[in-house]
Each structure stands twice: as structure tokens, then as C-alpha cells.
Amino acid sequence: MPELPDLTLYLEALERHVGGRVLLGLRVAGPSLLRSVDPPLEAAAGRRALGFQRLGKRLVIALEGELFLVLHLMIAGRLHWQPRARSRARRRALAHFDFEHGSVALTEAGTRRRASLHLVRGEAALALHDPGGLEPLGCGLPAFRERLQRENHTLKRALTDPKLFSGIGNAYSDEILHAARLSPVALTSRLEPGEVERLFEATRGTLAEWTARLRRELGSGFPERVTAFRPGMAVHGRFRLPCPACGAPVQRIVHAESESHYCARCQTGGRLLADRALSRLLKRDWPKSLEELEQRMRSQAAAAKP
């Protein structure tokens, strides 16, 4: 799912490409995409795009007449810019936002259609789409601490809860927790003041660093390679690869459709976190520490030799 750094680049690219331009119309091919009926989608045609903003992980296009297009890309939704000569090239697009000089196309990988589009009128209606999360790059330590410890959750859950923090998802929460040297399953209520401050600095630093890095890579173009798996990431998507800080193999725990990646040596004092599926399967054979895991791997490698 595109998160704060990627969504920021989408907003900046939309401003460069269609800011101040008149939206000629919308072509919606995905029957499940449009989730609102009043005002009708046709009301957006002929209105100028006045501004762009983010509400959590939603992208908002402000149009003349106090109309707002609210787009949630969910996990697999992506935006693409198509110059006028190629504006009808993406046959599998769920929607095209047509402007005189080109189109913004929305695609969604896979067969499950989760992306959504709403057209609303007025600031009050727009506010209903704001999940209420605190902006991590626009707050101070006291506000961050209050929001973090408002409820007793694991750090992973707290950072990715859109009602607590805005724009942070599975990928960047892994990177933040690695930078803070904190376990993803540590409870917010048990953090020491120094650990909260460390997490605050890691959150701001990680998101700011990746936003700046992606800006440099993109230049003045349109983001076409938005992914949750970046080569420069420390732990996310790097299961069994060496941690860039200590060299230990990155570990993984799986819960439902999400994964958490972490370094046992840097974040959990060498303790391996229990993956529900594997720990149920292995039961007593589940290794409890990084050293035990490494010893088992060495024994398996030795047994495999002829």
C-alpha cells in the first residue's frame, strides 16, 4: 500500500501535471470503484483542479465549486500519467481522469478490487473521510507520546493504526522500528520515556529521509514504480538477508495478510518472535533465540553435506 512518502510524491506530481487544469471528465470502468452517488460523478466535469492534499492514505483533488475527489488506492492501486497522445492506452485501467493535455489513469493489480473513489461536496463532507491520525512530520514529541500511548497496543499496530498516526503502513513501520531499535511487539504502555523519544525521532527521520530520497530518484516525472519493497530498505522485504547494521539475518512474523520484518539482534535482544503459523506447526521445535536458529541452520547444512 502506498504510504506517506509515496503519497507525497503522488500529490507533488499531480500538482505539476494537472494543477490549475480543467478536468474534462472521468471514465470509470471498474464498477466497484465509485462509492458515492451524490453529487453525481458528472458534476466534476468541467471544473478546475485547485489543489491536492492527503487525508491519511487518501489522495484528495480539490475542484472548483467545493467539490472533492477522494481516492483511496488501498494495497494495489496505482496512478499513471498518460500524455494526450496515449490517453486511451491503458485498457485495464479502472478509471481515467481526463484533462486536455493528458489523463491520470488508475490501475489496480490482482483480482480483488479494493480501491475506492468518492466525490463529495463541502469541507464538512470531506472531513468525514479523515481517519483522524496524527501527522507524524507535523507534530512535536508531547503530541506524539500522547497519541502513541492513548491505547495499549503493540508498536507495530499503533504505528499503522490510521486513527492514531497518518500515512504509516506495513513497510515504513518496519523501517521506523528498526531505526528506533524497538521490537514490533513491544507494548506502548511499557515504553520508557527515552524509548518514546527514540521512536519519535526514528519516525520523523525515516519518513523524511525516504520522502527526500524518492524525490531525488523521481525528479520532475510521475511516480511509476511505487512499491513497498525498496532496495535501500533495512529490513522490510528482506527476510533472511543480512541486517545492514549488524549482519544478522532479518526475521519475519506473519499475521493475516501483513508481515513484520525485524532484526532480532538489533530489536529484540536476540529473541525470535513467534510466528503464529510456524510456531503452531513446530511447537516445541520453534527456536527461541537467534543463536538457536543459527545453530540449527549450521546443523542442517552439515547434515546435508555428502
Per the structure, the count of domains in the chain is: 2
Helices and strands, number each (H, E), in the chain: 9, 10
218-251 residue pLDDT tens: 999 999 999 999 999 999 999 999 999 999 999 9
Q: Which residues have C-beta within 8 Å of that of residue 258, sequence separation ≥ 6?
A: 170
CATH of the domain at 11: 3.20.190.10
Of 57-66, 85-94, 134-143, 184-193, the least confident: 85-94
* Integer CA distances (angstroms), 38 to 17, 121, 125, 190, in order: 28, 8, 11, 47
Q: Is residue 305 part of a domain?
A: no
CA-nearest of 11, 32, 24 to 103 is: 24
201 shares a domain with 254 = yes
183 shares a domain with 229 = yes
Q: What is the pLDDT of residue 92?
A: 83
Q: Is residue 302 part of a domain?
A: no
Confidence of residue 175 (pLDDT cuts 50, 70, 90): very high
233 shares a domain with 163 = yes
47-81 residue pLDDT tens: 999 999 999 999 999 999 999 999 999 999 999 99
177 shares a domain with 121 = no
Q: Report CA torsion sign: 21, 22, 24, 25.
A: positive
Q: Is residue 293 part of a domain?
A: no
228 shares a domain with 119 = no
Query: What CA–CA distance (Å, rounded) separates 45 from 33?
Result: 18
Q: Above 80 in pLDDT, residue 302?
A: no
Q: Is residue 186 part of a domain?
A: yes
pTM of the model: 0.90
Strands 95-99, 77-83: pairing kind? unpaired
For residue 69 the three cell numbers come to 475527489
4-45 residue pLDDT tens: 999 999 999 999 999 999 999 999 997 899 999 999 999 999
Q: What is the pLDDT of residue 274?
A: 82
Q: What is the pLDDT of residue 65?
A: 97
With the CA atoms of 198, 202, 204 and 209 taken in that order, what torsion angle do they form, in degrees rounded to the nearest 10?
150
Q: Is residue 96 part of a domain?
A: yes
Q: Which structural domain, as residue segments, surrounds residue 114?
A: 4-127
Q: Is residue 276 part of a domain?
A: no
Query: What CA–CA distance (Å, rounded) separates 113 from 159?
Result: 25
Q: For residue 188, give the DSSP letter.
A: G
How much of the chain, in percent, has pLDDT values that exceed 90?
81
Query: What CA–CA distance (Å, rounded) separates 147 from 134?
Result: 7
121 shares a domain with 97 = yes
Q: Above 70 in pLDDT, residue 262?
A: yes
186 shares a domain with 150 = yes
Confidence of residue 1 (pLDDT cuts 50, 70, 90): confident
Q: Is residue 135 part of a domain?
A: no
Q: What is the pLDDT of residue 281?
A: 43
CA-nearest of 155, 114, 113, 125 to 55 is: 125
238 shares a domain with 196 = yes
CATH of the domain at 260: 1.10.8.50
Q: Is residue 103 part of a domain?
A: yes
260 shares a domain with 146 = yes
123 shares a domain with 9 = yes
Confidence of residue 110 (pLDDT cuts 50, 70, 90): confident
Residue listed under C-alpha cell 525485524 = 262
